[in-house]
Amino acid sequence: MKILIIEDEALNASRLKRLLKELEPQCQILAIIDTVADSVKWLNSNSAPDLIMMDIRLADGLSFSIFNEVDIISPIIFTTAYDEYAIRAFKVNSIDYLMKPIEKNELEFALQKFKSFSKAANNVSDLPGILKDLINSRSFRSRFLVTYKDGYKSIDVNDVDFIFSEFKNSNLFLLNGNTVQISQSMEELEQELDPVLFFRVNRQFLIRAESIKSITNYFNSKLKIQLKLAPERDVIISREKAPLFKQWMDH
Q: How confident is the model over 35-61, as pLDDT tens digits?
A: 999 999 999 999 999 999 999 888 888
Which phi and psi (to 5°) does residue 127 adopt? Answer: -60, -45
Residues 13 and 90 in one domain: yes
In angstroms, the CA 248 to CA 212 distance is 13
Q: How confident is the model over 166-186, as pLDDT tens digits?
A: 998 999 999 999 999 999 888
User: What mean pLDDT is predicted for residues 132-148?
Assistant: 71
Residues 222 and 100 in one domain: no
Q: Which residues contact 131 (CB under 8 A, 6 or more apart)?
A: 75, 93, 94, 95, 117
Domain containing 187 equals 143-249
Residues 112 and 225 in one domain: no
Average pLDDT, the chain: 85
- Domain end marker among 101, 136, 171: 136
CATH number for the domain spanning 114: value is: 3.40.50.2300
> Pairing relation of β-strands 61-62 and 57-58?
antiparallel
pTM given for the model: 0.53
* CA distances (Å), origin 224, targets 51, 147, 178, 214: 37, 33, 24, 8
Show the beta-strand stretches assigned E in 61-220: 61-62, 76-80, 94-99, 143-148, 151-156, 160-166, 169-174, 179-182, 199-200, 205-207, 212-217
134 pLDDT tier (thresholds 50, 70, 90): very low
Residues 6 and 126 in one domain: yes
Residues 116 and 177 in one domain: no
Residues 113 and 150 in one domain: no
Question: What is the reported pLDDT for 251?
Answer: 67
Residues 108 and 162 in one domain: no
Residues 74 and 177 in one domain: no
Q: Are residues 201 and 237 in contact, defined by beta-carbon separation less than 8 angstroms? A: yes
* CA distances (Å), origin 202, targets 17, 108, 190, 223, 233: 33, 33, 11, 11, 13
Residues 115 and 185 in one domain: no
User: What mean pLDDT is predicted for residues 215-219?
Assistant: 94
In angstroms, the CA 37 to CA 58 distance is 10
Residues 51 and 88 in one domain: yes
- Domain end marker among 120, 136, 152: 136
In the predicted structure, residue 83 carries a pLDDT above the cut 80: no
pLDDT above 90 covers a percentage of the chain that reads: 51
* CA distances (Å), origin 110, targets 4, 23, 83, 115: 15, 11, 17, 9
Count of structural domains, the chain: 2
In angstroms, the CA 24 to CA 7 distance is 19
More confident residue, 250 or 8: 8
Q: Are residues 24 and 51 in contact, defined by beta-carbon separation less than 8 angstroms? A: no
187 pLDDT tier (thresholds 50, 70, 90): confident
Q: Which residues pair with 77 in a beta bridge?
A: 53, 96
